[in-house]
Structure 1
Amino acid sequence: MFKIKYRYIFIFLLSLYSYVNILFTEGHKLFGFELNPFLFFSVLLIIVFLVWEVNRMLYALAFQIPLKKIHPLIILFLLSVGNVFLISALTTLAFNFYSSNYFNPIISFKLCLGFSFRVNLFLHCINAIYFFISQYKTAQLEAERLKKQNIEARFQTLRNQINPHFLFNSFNVLSTLVYKDADVSAKFIEQLSNVYRYILYNQDNKIVTIQDELAFIESYIYLLKIRFKDNIIIKKSIGAQVRDKYIAPAALQLLIENAIKHNVVSRAEPLNIRIYNSENHLVVENNIQLKEVKEESTGIGLRNIQERYDYLSADNPMVIEQTDIFKVKIPIIEVS
């Protein structure tokens, strides 16, 4: 606080307040001699200035003294007390030189000491408040920085991984296709490379356009259709007005994967997935037909999307589970 940019304005205002307060309470009459009003105000201004500026110079010293059990602000205050006594003594000598009717130097010294000490104590109280508020704000900023780093680390983890089961299953399908249909296997390889190209290309991007995400999803759906055939039905209905807006990369792919992981996908019970926009959200919904044996969670599904949106948007994804429908609403991000 002692180093603030406009400290001289505060010094002047504090001196003016003290001057008016002393005149109102007639405290100046306790000196026993008449003081020129301008001179009296100048003395108060000098006292406040010296108290403030010496504290400013002592501030760095107080934080360098290696006393771990004593807070630097307490050390600063103790150092400033000596300064207060010195200022009071010099002011008393000045009054003695100024006035020929100076009868009681002890009373005058006590008055100067009382004023200087009150100013010093007031400034230290304000400084302590300022210090701890600054510390609190710094701690908040540091916590926010660490939170951001944590989210970035989680973000990077997601970008650097794709469900190993998906990769394993894709290669299994490919190994079968190679012997059955060369054209389809070539198309499969092309679409698989598109999926990984998209993931690698966007590994440093926090958001992507919905249009790009949909193009990526087309390749991903092709791979799923080769694997599951008609056992999975995915329908998309995305309006043109939202395609140039943004979402988190691979969010739709994760939600489709999440639906497949937790539900039965068979000819008798085909899995129906719909992707559409509703107001300011993209919605991914599927019919609920849960597997009897649940797969072990990898931790890169719903929770990861929610954590990413904590960082990307003021709106959070919404999970809605009804009797036979499960849906997730992802906020659409607008960039101005």
Structure 2
Amino acid sequence: MNTKLNKSDYVILAVFYLISVTLSIFDYLDQKATLLEYLVDIPMYVITSFLGVLAFMYIIIPKYLIKSKNYILFAVFGLLVITLIGVVERIVGFSTANNDWSKFPDTYNLILYGIFNGSDSVGLVLGIIITKKFYESQTQISKIKEEQKENELKLLRAQIDPHFLFNNLNTLDSLIDSNPKKAKEYINRLSMIYRYLIQTKDAEVMELANEIEFSKNYIFLIQTRFGNDYEFTIDKNISLVDKFIPTGALQTILENVVKHNKSDGVTPIKTSIQINEGWLIISNTKSKVIAKTESFGTGIKNLKTRYQLLSDEKVQILNTDTKFEVFIPIIELST
């Protein structure tokens, strides 16, 4: 669930506080409150309540409930925030009402009042926002899953694309007579690719190390087929242990490089795969030769859709006249 407040959340908060302030004004009229109470108590309630909502939505819930699933710390810090808000409101309210400080509650009663009053100030509006967020997240998940079902067949077809097999068989046929040793290696690499595709067809994410090894086999096929038209480099700047990306993500990007960039026979298409902290960056030079295949951007679009369920980070694209870069967030699964 995304706990960051959006425009509609702020609208709900504004309506809620408008109603609450209106009811508070009528309540203060019945109590014949002083002008100071109107000017201080009511704004103080809105400010402390709103700050409490922000504390829960931006710190307590994402850090202790969603990320670390530490329910004890979630309860402790949640109770502390609620108590602090209630205590502050009690002190301010007592002060503006010109009460006798000798009658101010002792520490025990002040804490109890803080818990009850803070829960009243923050609990209702926070419950409304969380309920809305939960409904939105469930709606988004349902929508993404529907899109994924449509994309699964496309992805499966892409993995066993008959054109891919046909082109590789043609390459293999030419190698058998000219270079039998390389033809044998080509068969071995091709079989490893299909074995990997079969083994991972139901996996949403795979270890980055496995995806890199798969990409090396895929690059071998490309370079064997096209010769010096394509150059690839892989730079590992971090450890690959416990790092994951969506299954087939690298294949999708590498397919796009070959599909939409044709060498002029003189200058190769250079592609670099950089593994940095938090990001896998695939960058390729762009060809001046116009590709015959029309680009619909479905591969990148599908990858972006998959990330909506897997990570808070998004796939980023940098497209210039000479270079195309794809920034893929590296996923670290929490245990």
User: How does the TM-score come out when normalised to structure 2?
Assistant: 0.55
CA–CA distance in 1 between the matches of 2:200 and 2:298?
17
Contact 2:263–2:269 (Cα < 8 Å) also in 1: yes
- Code of the residue aligned with 2:309 in structure 1: it is Y
1:176 equivalent in alignment to 2:201: no
Choose which of 274, 277, 282 in structure 2 pairs with 1:276: 274
**Quick check: 241-250 or 201-210, which moved more?**
241-250
1:107-126 mapped onto 2 (5 Å cutoff): none
Deviations 1:259-297 (A, max 9, x none): 111112243121100000233110000111143243034
Contact 1:262 1:290 in 2 (8 A): no
Residue correspondences, number: 206
Which among 214, 217, 222 is matched to residue 215 of structure 2?
Answer: 217
Equivalent residue, structure 2, for 1:167: 165
* Residue 110 of structure 2 corresponds to residue 141 of structure 1: no
Structure 1 position 213, deviation (Å): 0.3
Match of 1:204 among 187, 202, 205: 202
Mapped partners of 1:260, 1:140: distance in 2: 37
Which of 311, 314, 323 is the equivalent residue of 2:312? 314
Deviates more, 1:178-187 or 1:319-328: 178-187
Give 5+ residue unaligned stretches, structure 2.
Answer: 1-29, 31-129
| Larger Cα-atom Rg | 1
User: Hey, what's the Cα distance between the residues in 2 that align with 1:136 and 1:236?
Assistant: 41
Matches within 5 A, 1:69-108: none
* Alpha-carbon distance between aligned partners in 2 of 1:285 and 1:274, rounded to the nearest angstrom: 5
Shift of 1:170: 0.8
Q: Which residue of structure 1 lines up, in the alignment, with residue 245 of structure 2?
A: 247
Q: Percent identity?
A: 29
Work out the CA distance in 2 between the residues paired with 1:204 and 1:281.
24
Q: 1:181 to 1:324 in 2, by over 3 A?
A: same
Give the corresponding residue for 1:234: 232
CA contact (8 A) 2:204 2:246 kept: yes
RMSD of Structure 2 on Structure 1 (CA):
2.8
Classify the secondary structure of the residue corresponding to 2:158. Answer: coil
SS in 2 for 1:233: strand
Aligned residue in 2 for 1:80: none
| 2:228 counterpart letter in structure 1 | D
Alpha-carbon offset, residue 142 of structure 1 = 5.5
Please give the alpha-carbon distance, in whole angstroms, between the structure 2 residues aligned to 1:246 and 1:275.
15
For the residues of structure 1 that align with 2:279 and 2:137, how far apart are their CA atoms?
A: 31
Is this contact kept in 1: 2:286–2:323, CA < 8 A?
yes
Deviation at 1:206, TM superposition (A): 0.4
TM-score calculated relative to the size of structure 1: 0.55
Answer whether contact 1:319 1:329 (CA < 8 A) is retained: yes
Give me the whole-angstrom Cα distance separating, in 1, the residues matched to 2:132 and 2:315: 34
